Structure 1
Amino acid sequence: MTMLRVGFGQRDITPPLGLPLGGYGARFGGADAVLDRLHARAIVIDDGGAAIAIVALDLVHVFADWTVRVRERITRAYGIASERVLMAATHTHAGPAVFRSGIERDERLATYEHAMIEQVVASVADARQRAKPAVLRFGRAAVAEVAANRREAAMPVDHMVRVLSSHEPNGTLLGVLANFGCHPTVLSAANHAYSGDLLGVAATQAAQTLAAPVVFTNGAAGDVSTRFTRREQTADEVQRLARLLADGVGAAVNDAVEVDLGDTSLGAAVGTVPVRWRALPTRAAAQAEVEAALADLEAAHTRGDDARARRVAAARVEGAQAALWVGSYGGWAVLFGERPPVAQLQALRCGDVSLVAAPGELFSSAGTQLRHALGERVLVIGYANDYLGYFIPEAEAVAGGYEALIAMVDPRDESTICNGLVDVALAAGHLRVTSPQMERENGL
């Protein structure tokens, strides 16, 4: 039987105070405090012939050109092939406003982005140095009252946290790779302090409870957030919700079962699929949408709608205003830079468990579809290697709302991206392994 070596590393990537914060268009001014440190958290898995590396970063997103630079450094230093290196942002909205493309740049951000490469490479170096013989286990647990559909609270979302845990042969826990799909937006635009928010704090809490490192990746979170589960938007509420999620990680680790490594323990594949940029409305149409959204919000207040309905209406206003701004200041390039119309996809495989990575915000339904196609032993990772915004299903686009108004990728291409993820998983050697119980729970 193949014996893997697995190691974990972590480096601080908290920027200096004063840098602009990313995630909220309505926020102005730089960071003035630190609620909790930002980190690059790495896991390296080596089967003696090749290795894979996954790094989760407390950032709102990463861009492809930066990922290429990091991969090149890791390949040169440690011989890990670029297609076996995965960079994933947690999508915190309380981190620096990195990779802002055509928006007026703060040179301090460019300096930070460059310096961060050194910390990411160092986190991988630490993971390699600390690697020990290990057995992998896959587990999952339901986490209630953290995530909800942010467009309509009654709509279904995936409440499962999934883990790939690493154990020494004697059973001692070495560390955990965790995955959960939810916008980490407990903190609001009024916050001006650095924080990993939900996932960053949950990683810290789970690591403390388990006495082992935890690397947290975000999932299919495009339409999922804490909008209807948070009681307030404070640091204390971040801690409360993160504790629920951290406890879920512990439960998943406790129930995890050993991964079947098979004949080829590790696999990797990358691919690209063509996408189309969604046509922006004319300035007149965009202005009309803003006015309609504002009228809808005013009507919601006049009717005495509950806080949830008012928040959805307010989000439509935010999306309409953002679309008007984008169209007025140079189109999609102002947010995403000039780039070829392709989505870069990746899959990594550890035995009968696969990780599929998309460069943007998949909806929860996409995660469900991918598990229908590939089985339950899949970690669907969003915000990975690049950022192309929302991948909104056509039916959801028709319904409108914030995500539909600000999505760069044409909704007709959402299915292309999902199908492409299945293809790269199969190219990485994915084997569909699903228990009868899991099939019943997932409607397979």
Structure 2
Amino acid sequence: MPEWLIGFARTRITPPLGCEMAGFDARKGVADAVHDDLYAHALVFDDDGAQTVLMSLDVIAVSAEFSLAVRRDIEEATGIPASNIFLAATHTHCGPVTVDLFYQGQQLDVAYLQSLRRVVVTVAITASNNKRPRTLKTGMVPVAGIAVNRRTPDGLPVDPFAGVFFIEELDGQAAAVAVIYACHTTVLGPDTLSFTQDFPFYTLAKLKSVLGQSVEALYFNGAQGDLSIGHKSNLSAVGVIDPFRTFATAQRLGERLADAVLAGLKNLALEAPGVKVLSHKVALPLKRYEPLVAMTQAREEAGRRIDPQRMDAEMLAIRQDSLFARIEEYYAKLYEQSDAPEPKTLSIECAAILLGETAIITLPGEVFARVALGIRAASPFAKTIFLGLTNNYIGYLPDHEATRDSGYEVVASRVSAIAGDILQQETLQLLNALQKASAR
């Protein structure tokens, strides 16, 4: 059996009750309960000294500054290069505020972030220290009936696969399973004031109930920018909560994902040890905005039209206009404050990871499904998986077709329509370079 050195660990990161919760502009109130705990997980893969760390955090997102600090701390403690360390948010909207966004009144909890930094570093060190010979199986299992494209009449496209990493002890006992699936973790809406992982909680609980409670189970999100479980983001953003957004729905969908993973375990391929990581910086063109004074005036005018007592169709449209004006003012301010020369760009880190024959592309925000599916279709690797919301949060990255239709995600994107094309080109170059490096 091909032996890797693999380590894993997890630790609880649930904040105290009473803190603000991230993810919904329309949410009123602070966290008042814990439905299920939030965790930080770490997976360390080692092939004769070539190592990478994949970390899953049950938070809405991580900033580039936070990620860089954590990665440097882990490098100092373990010797694993910071460039080979990846922090991926599951994107739960029922967790703490960990990044600055346009939401009204939300403040970063500096003390919590400092504590989170220490905890995340510690769990990575623990995983590294726990490395031992194990085997790795990987695959892409078909999944249906969960994610829906929330911007299209037919609910398509979606990513029809979940990536799976299945780690076993040398005696064949299950040790850990990681699921990578593209979907907003937003079954629960802005009326939920309980901390929760959302539907992945039920996915991981079902996997552990079948594989064994001692088995480590963790979830990563994928290219989920326009994928959710059926509600429309334009309405959800202004407080319209569909009646199906309940814990019962989260359980049904989460267990459905677990069932798809369990059914696919028999088809996973045993991977020979091999770790390679390539990365480089990519410049994405930013949108241009009207002068900030004009944007502020538009936001104020839109806000004055809101009647807080009404939620009819006309008032919902007015509320959307007000939210969109506030988002654009927020980004116009960031644009104006930037001292970069014109045309201004957003620098992101793109990385390609090879584990055996499975390629992983990391994405620093919420990339639309068409962009990711285009990368996979042209990838030189039969198994190409995406880790979304990794090492940074740049917001949404729509494709050209979505940009023509506008809507919440397009308004909330900082980058222009061509950014998706650039990301595809750059990641394919990385994948091709990775293939050449692996053939040597």
Sort the TM-score into its range (normalised by shorter chain): 0.7 to 0.9
For 1:363, the equivalent position in structure 2 comes to 368
Q: Deviation string for 1:253-298 (max 9, x for gaps)?
A: 232111244xxx110112111112212355377789999999xx99
Q: Which deviates the most, 42-51 or 7-16?
A: 42-51
Which runs of structure 2 are paired with 1:152-191 in the superposition (5 Å)? 152-154=152-154, 155-191=156-192
Q: 1:393 to 1:106 in 2, by over 3 A?
A: closer
Q: 1:123 to 1:320 in 2, by over 3 A?
A: farther
**Matched position secondary structure for 1:341:** strand
For 1:305, the equivalent position in structure 2 comes to none
For 1:195, the equivalent position in structure 2 comes to 196
Deviation at residue 337 of structure 1 after TM alignment: 9.6
Q: Which deviates the most, 285-294 or 29-38?
A: 285-294
Question: Could you tell me how far apart the structure 2 residues matched to 1:218 and 1:35 are?
Answer: 20
**Matched position secondary structure for 1:22:** coil
Question: Could you tell me how far apart the structure 1 residues matched to 2:331 and 2:138 are?
Answer: 46
Q: 1:402 to 1:217 in 2, by over 3 A?
A: same
| 1:423 and 2:432 correspond | no
Unaligned runs of 5+ in 2: 233-241
For 2:392, the equivalent position in structure 1 comes to 386
For 2:115, the equivalent position in structure 1 comes to 115
Deviation at residue 208 of structure 1 after TM alignment: 3.3
Query: 8 Å contact 2:54–2:85 — kept in the other structure?
Result: yes
For 2:348, the equivalent position in structure 1 comes to 343
Query: 8 Å contact 1:176–1:213 — kept in the other structure?
Result: yes
For 1:150, the equivalent position in structure 2 comes to 150
Query: 8 Å contact 1:357–1:421 — kept in the other structure?
Result: no
| 1:248 and 2:260 correspond | yes
**Corresponding residue pairs, total:** 414
**Matched position secondary structure for 2:8:** strand
Deviation at residue 171 of structure 1 after TM alignment: 2.4
Q: Which deviates the most, 408-417 or 319-328?
A: 319-328
Query: 8 Å contact 1:317–1:402 — kept in the other structure?
Result: no
Deviation at residue 418 of structure 1 after TM alignment: 1.9
1:239 maps to amino acid:
Q
Identity in percent? 26
Normalised TM-score (structure 1): 0.84
Question: Could you tell me how far apart the structure 2 residues matched to 1:430 and 1:137 are?
Answer: 23
Deviation at residue 251 of structure 1 after TM alignment: 2.0
Question: Could you tell me how far apart the structure 2 residues matched to 1:21 and 1:355 are?
Answer: 30
1:191 maps to amino acid:
T
Question: Could you tell me how far apart the structure 2 residues matched to 1:2 and 1:317 are?
Answer: 60
Q: 1:298 to 1:18 in 2, by over 3 A?
A: closer
| 1:376 and 2:382 correspond | yes
User: What's the Cα RMSD here?
Assistant: 3.2
Query: 8 Å contact 2:206–2:258 — kept in the other structure?
Result: yes
Which runs of structure 2 are paired with 1:45-84 in the superposition (5 Å)? 45-84=45-84
Question: Could you tell me how far apart the structure 2 residues matched to 1:130 and 1:416 are?
Answer: 39
For 2:283, the equivalent position in structure 1 comes to 274
Query: 8 Å contact 1:319–1:401 — kept in the other structure?
Result: no
Query: 8 Å contact 2:2–2:272 — kept in the other structure?
Result: no
Q: 1:332 to 1:203 in 2, by over 3 A?
A: farther
Deviation at residue 30 of structure 1 after TM alignment: 1.5
Q: 1:330 to 1:415 in 2, by over 3 A?
A: closer
Question: Could you tell me how far apart the structure 2 residues matched to 1:198 and 1:274 are?
Answer: 34
Q: 1:383 to 1:196 in 2, by over 3 A?
A: same
2:114 maps to amino acid:
H
| Residue from 248, 267, 275 that aligns with 1:236 | 248
Question: Could you tell me how far apart the structure 1 residues matched to 2:98 and 2:90 are?
Answer: 13
Question: Could you tell me how far apart the structure 1 residues matched to 2:250 and 2:375 are?
Answer: 29
Unaligned runs of 5+ in 1: 303-312, 434-444
Deviation at residue 234 of structure 1 after TM alignment: 1.7
Deviation at residue 223 of structure 1 after TM alignment: 0.8
1:257 maps to amino acid:
A
Q: 1:357 to 1:320 in 2, by over 3 A?
A: farther
Question: Could you tell me how far apart the structure 1 residues matched to 2:385 and 2:47 are?
Answer: 20
Deviation at residue 104 of structure 1 after TM alignment: 5.6
1:216 maps to amino acid:
Y
Query: 8 Å contact 1:293–1:320 — kept in the other structure?
Result: no
**Matched position secondary structure for 1:53:** strand
1:371 maps to amino acid:
R
2:277 maps to amino acid:
A
Query: 8 Å contact 2:20–2:106 — kept in the other structure?
Result: no
**Matched position secondary structure for 2:165:** strand
| Residue from 213, 220, 223 that aligns with 1:220 | 223
Normalised TM-score (structure 2): 0.85
